[in-house]
Amino acid sequence: MLLCTTAKPLGAQNVVEQQGDTLKTAVVTASAKPSPTLQSAPLQVMSKSDFEKLGIKELHEAVKTFSGVQIKDYGGIGGVKTVSVRSMGSQHTAISYDGVTISNAQSGQVDIGRFNLGNVEYVTLTIGQSDEIFQTARMFASAGVLNIKSARPVFDESSVNAGVSVNVASFGTWNPSLYYQHKLSGRWALAVNADWLVSDGEYPFTLVNGTVVTREKRLNSDVNTIRAEANVYGDLGKGGNVSFKGNWMSSQRGLPGSVVLYNKDARERLWDETGFAQVHYRNSLGEKCELQGQLKYNYAWNKYTDEKEYYPNGIQTDYYTQEEFYGSVSAKYAPAAGVSVVLSQDVFRNTLSASYENFVYPHRFTSLTALAAQYSAGRFTATASLLSTFITENLKVGKAAADRFRLSPAVSVSYKLFEERNIRVRASYQDMFRTPTFNDLYYNRIGNKMLDPEIARQFNVGVTWREGFQGVLDEVSLQADGYFNKVEDKIVALPTLFVWKMMNLGKVEILGTDINVGTSLSFGRGMRLKLQGNWSYQHAVDVTSSKDKNYKDQIPYTPRNSGSLSVSFLNGWVNAGYLMSAVGERYSLPQNTEQNRIDGYVEHSVSLNRSFDIKECTLQLQLECQNFTDVQYDVIQYYPMPGRSYRFTFKLDF
């Protein structure tokens, strides 16, 4: 994290700024982030400077600016938020934190609402075969990877960095945070950060019931969350580099229910205690070899309660506990210039326990082996990988599902068309599958041990362009991709004689286009305008059977058209940011009827910020107005989202 200066991260260098008659020297540092226009597969990036310019504080706020993404948001500060890429389903999207995947064997979905961006350097979204092959085998196993890269501490003259910030927002929301960084020696550093989020979440909304329109207030949307993280970074010299990370979250929140007619009753509560500890080691063994390894332990405890008159004692309480033990080793070998080969081996064990009767207590062992190769010479890059997956399970009660084994290939290529112009064409293919979750297989009464994995294949072709200019126009960038995805043996819940049952019956075909355009302009005297826009079109239809009423209907919660626009204006007075998100009409159920239709919406947000140097410290003030047109909309039907809201940030680095 950059402290006591308002200079922007531009790479490791010294910058001398003219301020009146005084010269001020600032150390500017940032880790290199991947360039989207140089990749063989679609990649989108948002950096820390982008968060600050646009007033983005939470991960889900950043992700909704990416193309080809759908976020399911159940409303409110405490509402669960999951992400799906190109209509493949949230279980096909991996959430990676500093190269290690966040897992949930119970449901296969990760709530990205648990992450804030206070200590994040950048966020990337990769779709398909990544050009970065020196990674864990688990990173090869998903259709899309949302990677969160935390910021490493940077020190100048002082061996200590520290700071505090407070976010005050509408609906009784307070979010104080602090960080502390200490350079322990020339080779070791410590970084600690923590924050507390509390909100009553009682925002107003409009309820429409036929011709009757009333103003109501969202209930049971409160949240009380404490998040903390500690990192230790070590340089072992010729012995390599090592880092340790510990992360913990404790949360209690209400789960706002659906609003149907005038039913506002919502009494569900959720308690979360989740944390992980991990260690990462990396070392170069000569000029041609490199080795890295990771170990991780993950723990998640949940308590769920619901008050209903028909429950014994008027309340139902369930407890769930998940554990994961994970290890990964990767070796990279470069036999010749432009050629590299990587072999990665991951093993992990997942367990789940629950409090209700007749629970089966599943244990799952997974082995992932990835062999990847890359050739890059001049204007041509080609990457190929083969992932081997083996899964075996056992239960304390009853017979487990059968073992699973599958080989999943992937390939990507890119070619620079002209020597003097950065115009590239690219193509990629990936075959993958989604293992049924513990809930799919063993959930009380509806689980099905005979489920097959969900098979998915994705094809992508595209073009990228990036050009720098002299004068007012600094640069222009473009990514345009067309894709076709096919999902077979889709896992769906279907009604049987008395209860619902998980089955392999679905087939989905997805044809789409993603277009991303960016530009920046400089006007002199420190004034700069940056614009970034994207548009997505998705024709995602159910092709399970021509006899079905929903045959070739758009699948639920997938808009045909969506997009976003961000504008930031930097100047010497007050920096301004504008963010627009647009989502077309969708359907809440498989049949595309008028009754199931959800209206599209456009949401606008603006922010103003300015930094002040005060002696050896930097004060940053920021004011945001989200959804300033006060549009009323649902992301999930009958779960109304907040209208106009405000957020003020006070941040002091010293």
- pLDDT at site 471: 83
Comparison of pLDDT for 506 and 274, the residue scoring more = 274
pLDDT, averaged across the chain? 88
Across 143-147, 326-330, 547-551, 552-556, which has the greatest mean pLDDT?
326-330
| Of the listed ranges 32-41, 164-173, 194-203, 597-606, the one predicted with least confidence | 32-41
pLDDT digits (tens, 9 = 90+) for 45-93: 999 989 988 888 888 889 989 999 988 887 667 677 889 999 888 889 9
pLDDT band at 10 (very low <50, low <70, confident <90, very high): very low
Average pLDDT of 219-230? 92
| Of the listed ranges 213-227, 490-504, 521-535, 637-651, the one predicted with least confidence | 490-504
What homologous superfamily is domain 31-653 in, according to CATH?
TonB-dependent receptor, beta-barrel domain (2.40.170.20)
In total, the chain counts a number of residues equal to 654
DSSP state of 439: H
Identity (one letter) of the amino acid at 365? F
pLDDT band at 9 (very low <50, low <70, confident <90, very high): very low
Average pLDDT of 487-495? 82
Bridge partners, 224 (sequence order): 198, 252
Average pLDDT of 243-270? 85
pLDDT digits (tens, 9 = 90+) for 335-371: 999 999 999 999 999 999 999 888 999 999 999 999 9
Asked if the model's pLDDT at residue 382 lies above 80, the reply is yes
- pLDDT at site 467: 92
For residue 121, give the 3-state DSSP assignment.
strand
Give per-residue burial for 455-477: e unless 16+ CB within 10 Å, then b. Answer: bbbbebebbbbbeeeeeeebeeb
- pLDDT at site 15: 34
- pLDDT at site 103: 86
Average pLDDT of 368-395? 95
Average pLDDT of 234-262? 89
pLDDT digits (tens, 9 = 90+) for 260-295: 766 667 788 999 999 999 999 999 988 899 999 999
Greatest Cα pair distance in the chain? 84
Radius of gyration of the chain from Cα atoms?
A: 25
Q: What is the bridge-based pairing of β-strands 160-169 and 93-97?
A: unpaired
Residue 322 has which token pair?
A: 């998940």
Comparison of pLDDT for 77 and 250, the residue scoring more = 250
pTM, whole model, 2 decimals?
0.88
Average pLDDT of 225-251? 94
- pLDDT at site 364: 96
Domain boundaries, the chain: 31-653
- pLDDT at site 345: 98
DSSP state of 60: H
- pLDDT at site 77: 72
How does DSSP assign 390-401, residue by residue?
A: EEEEEESSSPPP
Q: Of 77, 143, 134, which Cα lies nearest the Cα of 460?
A: 143
Q: Of 54, 48, 44, 43, which Cα lies nearest the Cα of 28?
A: 48
pLDDT digits (tens, 9 = 90+) for 93-111: 999 998 888 888 988 888 8
Q: Of 111, 493, 146, which Cα lies nearest the Cα of 272?
A: 111
